[in-house]
């Protein structure tokens, strides 16, 4: 069968493409990505020549281009990773988040209705649930936790989720949604916490920790996320939401110190900077449903995953050095110069 993967030149989408080509070589993968600042064609270089892989550069908001692709490929499954994904950018400029994350989702689902598909899967985030207090370690996000967003990013993702569920109820579109916690691993864009700290450490640059660094995130190795989505699109129940997370909560400051230690850099590089506006305190996923229904469990322990990730950034300096030497440099100056 043919699977369209949108946003496949980004962090998780590319890892998902590698996972599919490895575990389901009988399927055809078509990547639809318009290569924003976060999309990188070099990430897909190793699969570009595969006969069962095709890359198409197009915007998910471009109805004509999306319809043309559906007409050509007659896909069975759509997995929508394409999004603006960085909270800090959404605080600077929310508009493009609403356009891509909400209207782009609508365009894709309209094409699904027009051409008919077996499954539309929306890759969402635990951030749609808002945050949890630090002094209630007994609380976790379940699929029933009310939507309660904090940033323009999370509000745009939550809006898309509501639209996906509405298309299921109103038009009978066969949809699923997954809401995952923070991912880490290879090809993670160096504006996000873990790759940014690794890159800055390697360049002996200050490590900008927001606020006191006490915010907690629930980290999952990217391949475990890909495996969960693979299970959901093939065996998950239509109309359902599945939370994905591996019970691996860590404070930001502890992650940064761990990276310093692993790279043998002094903690004096750590610089506390102005906090993010509306900064969510704690995310923590209860993954009971996906475990009970689909047998999913994370396979990579954080200690192993972070070691592999740091090694990947050491072995693939060209990949991230090219990014941080280009247009991204202007973003970095703007965001961190006077912070
Ligand atoms: P990313 O920013 O690394 O990649 C996004 C990709 O989407 C890029 O390749 C970009 O070119 C593409 N894209 C953006 N706008 C597009 C458009 N209009 N048309 C076509 N392509 C477009 O993001 P990521 O971290 O890989 O996240 C992928 C998905 O997973 C997002 O939907 C995000 O909300 C969700 N998610 C991410 C995390 C995480 O920790 N990174 C956790 C949970 C959920
Ligand atoms: P991020 O990787 O942007 O993911 P998200 O905001 O989606 O969870 O940030 C992870 C955490 O790290 C978050 O609490 C903000 C914090 N952070 C810093 O302290 N410094 C930084 O330079 C960045 C990018 C993030």
* pLDDT (tens digit per residue) in 154-176: 999 999 999 999 999 999 999 99
- Does ligand 2 have an atom closer than 6 angstroms to the CB of 89? no
Q: In this structure, which long-range contacts are made by residues 62-69, counting pairs with CB atoms below 8 Å and at least 24 apart in sequence?
A: 62/34, 62/107, 63/107, 63/110, 63/111, 66/32, 66/107, 66/108, 66/111, 67/111, 67/114, 67/115, 69/4, 69/30, 69/32
Annotation marks residue 92 as catalytic: no
pLDDT for 228: 98
pLDDT for 233: 98
Let me know the angle formed at the C-alpha of 149 by 278 and 209, rounded to the nearest 5 degrees.
35
pLDDT higher than 80, residue 327? no
Annotation marks residue 153 as catalytic: yes
- Does ligand 1 have an atom closer than 6 angstroms to the CB of 156? no
User: Which ligand 2 atom is at minimum distance from the Cα of 276?
Assistant: 15
Q: Give residue 307's pLDDT band: very low, low, confident or very high (50, 70, 90).
A: very high
Q: In this structure, which long-range contacts are made by residues 265-269, counting pairs with CB atoms below 8 Å and at least 24 apart in sequence?
A: 265/201, 265/204, 269/200, 269/201, 269/204, 269/205, 269/206, 269/207
Q: In this structure, are residues 28 and 101 in contact, taking their beta carbons and an 8 Å threshold?
A: no
Q: Which two tokens stand for residue 53?
A: 């892989």
Low-confidence winner among 49-53, 83-87, 247-251, 327-331 (lowest mean pLDDT): 327-331
Give residue 192 CA to ligand 2 midpoint distance, Å. Answer: 6
pLDDT for 320: 95
pTM exceeds 0.95 for this model: yes
Q: Tell me which ligand sits closest to the C-alpha of residue 125.
A: 1
- The dihedral region occupied by 185, where left means phi > 0, alpha psi between -120 and 50, and beta the remainder, is left
Measured in residues, the chain has a length of: 339
All residues at 6 or more sequence positions from 313 whose CB lies less than 8 Å from its CB, including other chains:
195, 198, 199, 202, 320
Mean pLDDT of 222-238: 98
Q: In this structure, are residues 244 and 285 in contact, taking their beta carbons and an 8 Å threshold?
A: yes
pLDDT for 280: 98
- Does ligand 1 have an atom closer than 6 angstroms to the CB of 161? no
pLDDT higher than 80, residue 328? no
Give residue 268 CA to ligand 1 midpoint distance, Å. Answer: 33
d(Cα 45, Cα 322) in Å, to the nearest integer? Answer: 15
Which of the following is catalytic: 153, 167, 221, 283? 153
Q: Give residue 258's pLDDT band: very low, low, confident or very high (50, 70, 90).
A: very high
Mean pLDDT of 68-72: 98
Q: Tell me which ligand sits closest to the C-alpha of residue 107.
A: 1
* pLDDT (tens digit per residue) in 98-112: 999 999 999 999 999
Sign of the CA dihedral with 9 first, then 11, 13, and 15 last? positive
Q: Tell me which ligand sits closest to the C-alpha of residue 32.
A: 1
pLDDT for 332: 85
């Amino acid at each position: 069968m043919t699977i369209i993967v949108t946003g496949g030149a980004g962090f998780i989408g590319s890892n998902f493409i590698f996972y599919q080509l490895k575990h389901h070589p009988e399927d055809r993968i078509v990547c639809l990505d318009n290569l924003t600042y976060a999309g990188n064609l070099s990430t897909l270089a190793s699969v570009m020549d595969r006969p069962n892989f095709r890359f198409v550069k197009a915007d998910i908001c471009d109805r004509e281009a999306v319809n043309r692709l559906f007409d050509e490929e007659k896909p069975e499954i759509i997995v929508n990773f394409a999004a603006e994904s960085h909270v800090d950018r959404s605080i600077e400029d929310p508009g493009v988040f609403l356009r891509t994350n909400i209207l782009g989702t609508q365009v894709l689902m309209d094409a699904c209705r027009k051409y008919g598909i077996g499954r539309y899967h929306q890759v969402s985030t635990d951030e749609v649930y808002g945050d949890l207090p630090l002094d209630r370690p007994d609380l976790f996000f379940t699929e029933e936790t009310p939507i309660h967003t904090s940033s323009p990013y999370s509000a745009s993702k939550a809006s898309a989720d509501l639209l996906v569920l509405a298309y299921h109820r109103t038009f009978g579109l066969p949809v699923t949604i997954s809401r995952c916690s923070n991912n880490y691993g290879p090809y993670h864009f160096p504006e996000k916490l873990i790759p940014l700290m690794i890159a800055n450490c390697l360049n002996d640059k200050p490590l900008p920790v927001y606020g006191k660094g006490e915010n907690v995130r629930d980290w999952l190795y990217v391949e475990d996320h890909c495996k969960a989505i693979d299970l959901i699109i093939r065996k998950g129940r239509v109309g359902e939401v599945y939370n994905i997370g591996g019970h691996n909560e860590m404070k930001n400051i502890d992650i940064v110190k761990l990276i310093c230690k692993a790279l043998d850099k002094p903690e004096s590089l750590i610089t506390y900077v102005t906090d993010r506006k509306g900064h969510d305190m704690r995310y923590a996923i209860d993954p009971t449903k996906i475990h009970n229904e689909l047998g999913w469990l994370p396979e990579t322990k954080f200690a192993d995953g972070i070691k592999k990730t740091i090694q990947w950034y050491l072995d693939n300096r060209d990949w991230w050095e090219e990014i941080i030497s280009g247009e991204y440099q202007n973003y970095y100056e703007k965001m961190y110069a006077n912070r």
